[in-house]
Amino acid sequence: MGLTSRSLEYATVLAALVCVGLTVWVWPRLARRGPMAVLGRLGVIGATQLTILTAFAVAVNTNFEFYGSWDELIGHVDKAPAEVTALGRSGVYSTVGAVRGGLVQPAGPQGLDRVKGIPHGPAAQVGRVESVKIVGRRSKAVNPAFVYLPPQYFQKQFHRQRFPVMVAISGYPGGIMNLAQYLQVPQTADRLLRAGKIQPTVIVMVRPTIAPPRDTECVDVPGGPRAETFFTKDLPEALKRSYRVGHDPSAWGALGYSSGGTCALQLTLRHPGVYTSAAALSADYRIGDDLTTGSLFGSGPGAAQRQREHDLIWRLEHLPVPRVSVLAASSRSGEKDYGDTVKFLHAVRPPMTSAQIILPRGSHHFTTWQREIAPAMRWMSGQLTFPQDTVSSRHHRPITQAANRPHP
């Protein structure tokens, strides 16, 4: 029974209800004097509270994906790249674009089987959403991901083309299920592509933290998790090795909501040689320490400067402006980031360009972000180059076909 499975969630809820019922039933028998009766009452109360807390914890983890598996929960996780020698049967969730270097590995559904509206059918007609794990060669992180491949990726006339990439980042706490189920990133991409409103694009859906439940905010923590390294080095390297995606920064963009939007802006402004566009829904424009992050910038004389360099408005006012494009989305009423969004947009100057989505009212919730995700994806698609380059003739075969064979 998987840690994020609905069956485990239902089982723990049922166990909690049974314990509550048994407590009500046996309580009159325990309402006596004496040490045994007192111990019985304490035991019944403890067991009931334990099952209720367990059910609550499992429900929260199932929806926010702090831990994806039992091994991850107890700390038994992969720490280094692993070679994949065989993939077994191909399937809608188990195949992967390529396995060279083992940096993108097939995973179980990771909840993808519970998402409604995911395209099903021949890949050349409807595309495919793959459930994988991305291994960070430098950061040593192993992060779950969904990868949306458009129908054109599998069509013969595109078999030598490299596709642009959108890296979609969820908020915190949260996980890739939120991107697929609530923000509906792959469903929106499929709809926009069929309507001719975006170009064929590979979309990789990831969470912002690489060390759950800690909120790493896409920062390289001194002596700690290297989240910025994962997103700017490991993730691009893994995707370029495993899928036919563009190798030039002009083909790469990052988008996200809440903390994911903050990450998208941070990654693009700090690493314009990796990402050249960012779309941020309800983002923050500076990063600070709190109970979920711990100390992100370390101590000593360099800590204040490291934190200042993650203040995006300060960067635009004091550092050279990169040649990138950004989109910021907020609401005049209902979003606490509106004032900073205006300041950020006013601080943008050439060669950087900006766009905005400002709703009259909204909230820090998926009901607002669902209104913004389609225009944000249309805007980003217009920033990315396609077709960017071609695959050499000896590698022109769609690499998803190679994924179903054992790798030596």
What pLDDT is attached to residue 71?
A: 57
Cα atoms in the Cβ-side hemisphere of radius 13 Å centred on 324: 28
Confidence of residue 173 (pLDDT cuts 50, 70, 90): confident
Sign of CA dihedral 357, 361, 364, 365: negative
What pLDDT is attached to residue 266?
A: 97
Domain 84-383 has CATH 3.40.50.1820: yes
pLDDT over threshold 90, residue 357: yes
Higher pLDDT, 58 or 74: 58
What pLDDT is attached to residue 400?
A: 37
pLDDT over threshold 90, residue 370: yes
What average pLDDT does range 313-337 have in this prediction?
Answer: 94
In the chain, the amino acid numbered 331 is S
> Three-state SS for 90?
coil
Confidence of residue 260 (pLDDT cuts 50, 70, 90): very high
| pLDDT tens digit sequence for 388-407 | 667 764 443 333 333 333 33
> Does the pTM exceed 0.95?
no
* Mean pLDDT of the chain, nearest integer: 84
pLDDT over threshold 90, residue 305: yes
Q: Pick the closest to residue 287 from 317, 272, 301, 267 (CA basis).
A: 267
In the chain, the amino acid numbered 40 is G
Confidence of residue 72 (pLDDT cuts 50, 70, 90): low
Q: DSSP of 11-73, one letter per residue?
A: HHHHHHHHHHHHHHHHHHHH-SSSHHHHHHHHHHHHHHHHHHHHHHHHHHHHHH-S-SSHHHH
Confidence of residue 158 (pLDDT cuts 50, 70, 90): very high
| pLDDT tens digit sequence for 85-139 | 222 233 333 344 444 448 999 988 898 988 998 878 999 999 999 999 999 999 9
Sign of CA dihedral 81, 82, 84, 85: positive
The domains of the chain are located at 6-64, 84-383
Using a 10 angstrom Cβ sphere, with 0-12 exposed, 13-18 middle and 19 or more buried, the burial of residue 378 is middle
pLDDT over threshold 50, residue 80: no
| pLDDT tens digit sequence for 210-233 | 998 899 999 999 999 999 999 999
What pLDDT is attached to residue 323?
A: 96
